[in-house]
Amino acid sequence: MSALMGKLSGQQIALALVLKELHHGDDAASRAVDRLLKDPLVPPLISFDGVEAIFQSGSEPEVQNVTTAEGCSCRGGRHPWCVHRVRFRILMAEMALRDPLGLLSAFVEHTPDDLRRPQPYPWPSPARLTSSIPELSLPDSLPPARPLPRVSPPSVDLQREIDELFPD
């Protein structure tokens, strides 16, 4: 089986470490990333189109695991995180960095037809206004705005590992 196995690239390892750092409070995410990183050989990727990834199972070579943003068909797919979901997110991040337009076109290609049709605005479009701005009736009280997520710099350990992977 090891002849069919692949290796993670340095960039994929760095993205896995970033993913782990981003979800540092989520034990399941940390375990899934650690499980992916502890084994230098990973089951091969059969296909990835930007929306769906198909991986060959590491334990059952005749089985293919299908992973999307919604879930995974593997045995661990009923859990919030599995190795395949970590790899899927890494592949998505790589594609977003290397070919953002390709990723966007993959999303559009996989969008159901009923979502592709232009939806009318629930209010008059500003582009169609010719004279005055119509009055909109707003509720007396609006829900409070959600606080913006805080993005903290990577930890010293993570930065050191990234620097080791990508020396100047």
What's the start-to-end Cα distance of the chain, in Å? Answer: 36
Overall pTM surpassing 0.85 (yes/no): no
Note the pLDDT of residue 30. Answer: 93
Most confident of 38-42, 48-52, 115-119, 155-159: 48-52
Report pLDDT digits (tens) over 121-154: 444 444 444 555 556 666 676 677 777 677 777 7
Is the predicted pLDDT of residue 18 greater than 90, yes or no?
yes
Domain boundaries, the chain: 6-110
Mean pLDDT across the chain? 78
Calpha distance 88→51 (Å, rounded)? 9
Residue 56's DSSP bridge partners are: 64
The most distant pair of C-alpha atoms in the chain lies apart, rounded to whole Å, by 71
Calpha distance 135→40 (Å, rounded)? 62
Residue type, 163: D
Report pLDDT digits (tens) over 67-99: 988 889 988 888 889 889 999 999 999 998 888
Is the predicted pLDDT of residue 107 greater than 80, yes or no?
no
What are the DSSP calls for 24-48, one per residue?
Answer: TT-HHHHHHHHHHHH-SEEPPEEEE
